[in-house]
Amino acid sequence: MANTRRKNRIVAALLFTVAGGMVGMAFAAVPLYQWFCQITGFAGTTNVARAPAAAVRPSTKTITVRFDANVDRDLPWRFQPEQSEITVHASEPTLAFYKAANGSDRAITGTATFNVSPHKAGVYFSKIDCFCFTEQRLAAGEEAEMTVQFFVDPGIFEDPNTKELTAITLSYTFFRVPGSDGKNAVQSAAPRPRRPIKG
Amino acid sequence: MADHAAADGDHGHDHHPTGWRRWVYSTNHKDIGTMYMVLSMFAALVGGSMSMLIRLELMNPGIQYFADFQFYNVLVTGHGFIMVFFVVMPALIGGFGNWFVPLMIGAPDMAFPRMNNVSFWLVAAAFVMLMVSAFTQGGPGTGWTVYPPLSNATYHPGAAVDIGILSLHLAGVSSILGAINFIVTIFNMRAPGLTVHRMPLFCWSILVTSFLLLLAIPVLAGGLTMLLTDRNFGTTFFEASGGGDPVLWQHLFWFFGHPEVYIIIIPAFGIISQVVSTFARKPIFGYLGMAYAMVFIGFVGFVVWAHHMYTAGLDADTRAYFVAATLVIAVPTGIKIFSWLATMWGGSIDFHAPMMFACGFIFLFVVGGVTGVALANSGLDLAWHDTYFVVAHFHYVMAIAAVFGMFAGFYYWIGKMSGRMYPSVLAKIHFWAFFVGVNLVFFPQHFLGIAGMPRRIPDYPDAYAGWNYVSSVGTFITSASALLFFFIVWRTLTAGSKAEDNPWGEGAKTLEWSVPSPAPFHTHEDLPDLTGKQPAE
């Protein structure tokens, strides 16, 4: 009897651990999905890299990189790329420029997310330096120029899935950081009048 | 304790708690099972009324009753949660599981009787919280899938979704504790000689279901907690503005949600196996195949979740994998269907009410299952996702098949539970009325879905009026049959004929038929010795 009770407690403790482990797995999903996308380039996730080894000469094959910019509806900024496209050689580190302007009357902090299209090109697009996920604070009326340094991996021309591509689009979306401008909560869903941005 | 038990055998203690303490502080698996069944029946009235209101509105085009669309969405949400968490799960797992797993394996009670009680009262509390959330600041109008952004603070300000999250956490803890209880009981407390490969298939079904609960519910709990912190504490798990993604919720929810539907149906599979073998007077065909088919379904059920997400923007190769994996589940399921048929083949069949419901289950689960196979194909699902075709599919397998399993179990076991038999003519009328009713409700919904009618809407274009009318008429018949069922329950408990220990004859070989009807408060106080006996099945 006591033996059964002891065995019961051991199995129960084991099962509680399993249940707890599964809760852990749910929270681990956040970095795990991130890691998985990073490794495989799934859904247009780009790579982060230092500059390619100096011995690799830029190849002769080229591909066009297009630049796209968006703002979330909560962010009264003007945000656009300074060049609509650049034709680059593979492995060639390239600099591109975006400009953001705070057209409102108060200082706001924003952060940007980014993606690459088509998704299958993501794993070959390596960003050396960019302004994504760093908070950018712009005072009322202030403008800022932001840079992206990247290169396209030559593997994109060998991979049968991607070799037919002639263009990749890099897209950034700027969001307001809640709390940064004195408005703590995320805006409610009620429709608001649109205001034109000056300048 | 040890002093009295040896002398008295199965009718050991005559004294047991009485009054309200017997129920509120219960540590008796039969009483707790009874409480679960009462809760399930009460919740069925509430959830069923919600579905009546929905179908009343959908009976004709135009808005007749629910101009407050948020309230309509709350009805849709409440109906789903109540049926899944407070009707089917409490009846099959809490009710029949608690009553009959210890009886069938020769155990005097569950491994942790007081934790068993905690599980029950947590479900009761969760049900109350869900009802509270429905009336809090607009209620949760999110559907049972609670997707953000609709469920986050921007679009559901107020406490309704938070209280709903609390309700689900309570129900989740209840299920995890119950699952641990069942696993420990089945592994450690089988009577001597009863190996796992000889225990009844209903016990197998509860064992597999318990493992699914143990592994799936914690993931829901994690996701719910993330939603709670996103709503209230500034996290951005599901918000792009902070680097999160609403699709993460879908992954977490469906990682739980798909095993959940197997949690709902596998205990019903177990009941059907018991009933079919009893009334065909033959052991189940292919016992090992049946047991391991359930294990396999449970296992593969964990790696197919994204077939609920074919329109969420997944990669084509990802979708291809999930199509293939989902189709695989049809194989062990088919093995079970054929095994039940093979059991009946050459058997001498008595069509008592439990067997009628079991045969109805087999047929109607196949109907629901094949539409599931169709939906597994992401190409077709692109057209059918979020249409009434999906609604028809899951209602066939849950509202029809699983409920047929519940009724089969009720009629099969009510004599053992209450000591009284059901009125057999009324039971057959109940079967036919319910059969006609639910098929009338849900079969036309396939047509509506293929024709493009979306789900979760209060109104629709005139072109959909015809089948919607037919479907709603079906709910009136179904409601009438439900009222008949409640009358049958009352009649059975007050005036049913006395049940013998085994009313079903030679086909009923499992251990519960060897104890008196109604089963005494304490049973198997002396462990039966099953070494060398035939498999109980």
- Per-residue pLDDT reduced to its tens digit, B227-252: 999 999 999 999 888 888 999 999 99
Residue B446 annotated to the active site = no
Residue B336 annotated to the active site = yes
CA distance B143 to B151: 9
Q: Which residue has the tokens 């950081």?
A: A177
- State the smallest CA–CA distance between residue A134 and chain B in angstroms: 11
At B2 the pLDDT is 42
Do B215 and A4 lie within an 8 Å CB cutoff?
A: no
Stretch B51-75: mean pLDDT: 96
pLDDT digits (tens, 9 = 90+) for B294-311: 999 999 999 999 999 999
- State the smallest CA–CA distance between residue A171 and chain B in angstroms: 14
CA distance B353 to B362: 14
Q: Which of B229, B233, B241 to mutate to test the interface with A (most CBs of A within 10 A)?
A: B241
Do A4 and B188 lie within an 8 Å CB cutoff?
A: yes
Confidence check: pLDDT of A74 > 90:
no
At A182 the pLDDT is 52
At A181 the pLDDT is 60
Helix axes B98-105, B201-232, angle to 10 degrees: 140
Q: Which of B70, B180, B209, B226 to mutate to test the interface with A (most CBs of A within 10 A)?
A: B180
At B348 the pLDDT is 86
A33 and A59 fall within a common domain: no
Q: Which of B7-16, B189-198, B263-272 has the highest mean pLDDT?
A: B263-272
At A198 the pLDDT is 39
Sheet containing strand A167-176, edge to edge, reads A85-89, A62-71, A167-176, A108-117, A136-138
- The model's confidence at residue A80, banded by pLDDT at 50, 70 and 90, is very high
Do B111 and A178 lie within an 8 Å CB cutoff?
A: no
Question: What domain range includes position A86?
Answer: 47-196
Among B77, B167, B175, B472, which one carries the catalytic annotation? B175
Among B258, B282, B393, B522, which one carries the catalytic annotation? B258
How far are the Cα atoms of A40, A62, A112, B106, B269 from residue A167, in angstroms, in the given order?
20, 9, 22, 70, 54
Phi, psi for A170 (deg, rounded to 5): -100, 125
Among B133, B209, B273, B478, which one carries the catalytic annotation? B273
Among B142, B174, B205, B378, which one carries the catalytic annotation? B174
A137 and A178 fall within a common domain: yes
Candidate from A27, A43, A72 with C-beta closest to B241:
A72
Do B153 and A26 lie within an 8 Å CB cutoff?
A: no
A178 and A81 fall within a common domain: yes
Contacts of A177 in chain B (CB under 8 A): 241
Interface residues on A facing B, Cβ-Cβ cutoff 8 A: 1, 4, 7-8, 11-12, 15-16, 18-27, 29-30, 33, 42-43, 72, 74, 111, 113, 119, 133, 173, 175-179, 185-189
A103 and A170 fall within a common domain: yes
- State the smallest CA–CA distance between residue A38 and chain B in angstroms: 14
CA distance A133 to B87: 46
Provide the 8-state DSSP code for B176. Answer: H
Candidate from B111, B215, B252 with C-beta closest to A8:
B111
A24 and A98 fall within a common domain: no
Per-position b or e across B66-104, b if 16+ CB within 10 A of its CB = beeeebbbbbbbbbbbbbbbbbbbbbbbbbbbbbbbbbb
Q: Supply the CATH number for residue A79's domain.
A: 2.60.370.10
At B499 the pLDDT is 95
At B112 the pLDDT is 96
Burial tier of B1 (Cβ tally within 10 Å: 0-12, 13-18, 19+):
exposed
CA distance A111 to A88: 27
Q: Compute chain B's Rg from CA coordinates.
A: 23
- State the smallest CA–CA distance between residue A96 and chain B in angstroms: 22
A136 and A188 fall within a common domain: yes
- State the smallest CA–CA distance between residue A19 and chain B in angstroms: 6
Confidence check: pLDDT of B15 > 80:
no
Residue B467 annotated to the active site = no
What's the structural domain count of chain A? 2
* Amino acid letter, B175: S
- Tokens representing residue A197 in the block: 């941005």
pLDDT digits (tens, 9 = 90+) for B163-200: 999 999 999 999 999 999 999 999 999 999 999 999 99
How far are the Cα atoms of A108, B334, B435, B512 from residue B204, in angstroms, in the given order?
60, 18, 28, 16
Residue B455 annotated to the active site = yes
pLDDT digits (tens, 9 = 90+) for A113-134: 888 999 888 888 888 887 877 8
Q: Which of B31-40, B44-53, B344-353, B373-382 has the lowest mean pLDDT?
A: B344-353
Residue B522 annotated to the active site = no
Residue pair B42/B86 in contact (Cβ under 8 Å)? The answer is: no
Residue pair B355/B364 in contact (Cβ under 8 Å)? The answer is: no
Q: Which residue has the tokens 């002769």?
A: A60
Do B315 and A20 lie within an 8 Å CB cutoff?
A: no
Do A18 and B214 lie within an 8 Å CB cutoff?
A: yes
pLDDT digits (tens, 9 = 90+) for B123-155: 999 999 999 999 999 999 999 999 999 999 999
pLDDT digits (tens, 9 = 90+) for B462-502: 999 999 999 999 999 999 999 999 999 999 999 999 999 99
- The model's confidence at residue A46, banded by pLDDT at 50, 70 and 90, is confident
- Tokens representing residue B424 in the block: 């057999």
Among B156, B308, B509, B524, which one carries the catalytic annotation? B308
- The model's confidence at residue A183, banded by pLDDT at 50, 70 and 90, is low
At B244 the pLDDT is 87
Stretch B371-376: mean pLDDT: 97
A74 and A149 fall within a common domain: yes
Residue pair B301/B127 in contact (Cβ under 8 Å)? The answer is: no
SS3 B227: helix
CA distance B505 to B408: 17
- Tokens representing residue B211 in the block: 């493992």
Contacts of B223 in chain A (CB under 8 A): 26
H or E element: which one contains B213?
helix B201-232
Residue B121 annotated to the active site = no
Residue B40 annotated to the active site = no
Among B31, B109, B162, B525, which one carries the catalytic annotation? B109
- The model's confidence at residue A185, banded by pLDDT at 50, 70 and 90, is very low
What is the Cβ-side half-sphere exposure of residue A158, based on CA atoms within 13 angstroms? 7
DSSP string, B68-95: -HHHHHHHHHHHHHIIIIIIIHIIIIII
Confidence check: pLDDT of B14 > 70:
no
Do B189 and A4 lie within an 8 Å CB cutoff?
A: yes
Average pLDDT, chain B: 94
A33, closest residue in chain B (CA to CA): B248
Which sign does the torsion angle of CA B16, B19, B22, B25 carry? negative
Q: Compute chain A's Rg from CA coordinates.
A: 23
Stretch A50-67: mean pLDDT: 73
A127 and A170 fall within a common domain: yes
Do A133 and B243 lie within an 8 Å CB cutoff?
A: yes
A56 and A107 fall within a common domain: yes
| HEC profile of B322-371 | HHHHHHHHHHHHHHHHHHHHHHHCCCCCCCCHHHHHHHHHHHHHHHHHHH
Confidence check: pLDDT of B279 > 60:
yes
Confidence check: pLDDT of B11 > 70:
no
A160 and A87 fall within a common domain: yes
At B535 the pLDDT is 55
A162 and A135 fall within a common domain: yes
DSSP bridge partners of A101: A78, A143
Phi, psi for B156 (deg, rounded to 5): -130, 70
- The model's confidence at residue A47, banded by pLDDT at 50, 70 and 90, is confident
Give the dihedral of Cα atoms B169, B175, B177, B183; nearest 10 deg: -150
Confidence check: pLDDT of B383 > 80:
yes
* Amino acid letter, B224: L
- State the smallest CA–CA distance between residue A187 and chain B in angstroms: 7
Which sign does the torsion angle of CA A25, A27, A30, A35 carry? negative
Stretch B319-342: mean pLDDT: 96
A6 and A90 fall within a common domain: no
The pTM for the full model equals: 0.90
* Amino acid letter, A132: C
Task: Write the CB contacts of A102 (distance below 8 Å, at least 6 apart in sequence).
Answer: A76, A77, A108, A138, A139, A140, A141, A142, A143
Q: Which of A1-15, B332-346, B455-469 has the lowest mean pLDDT?
A: A1-15
Provide the 8-state DSSP code for B533. Answer: S
How far are the Cα atoms of A154, B14, B37, B421, B422 from residue B413, in angstroms, in the given order?
70, 23, 12, 9, 10
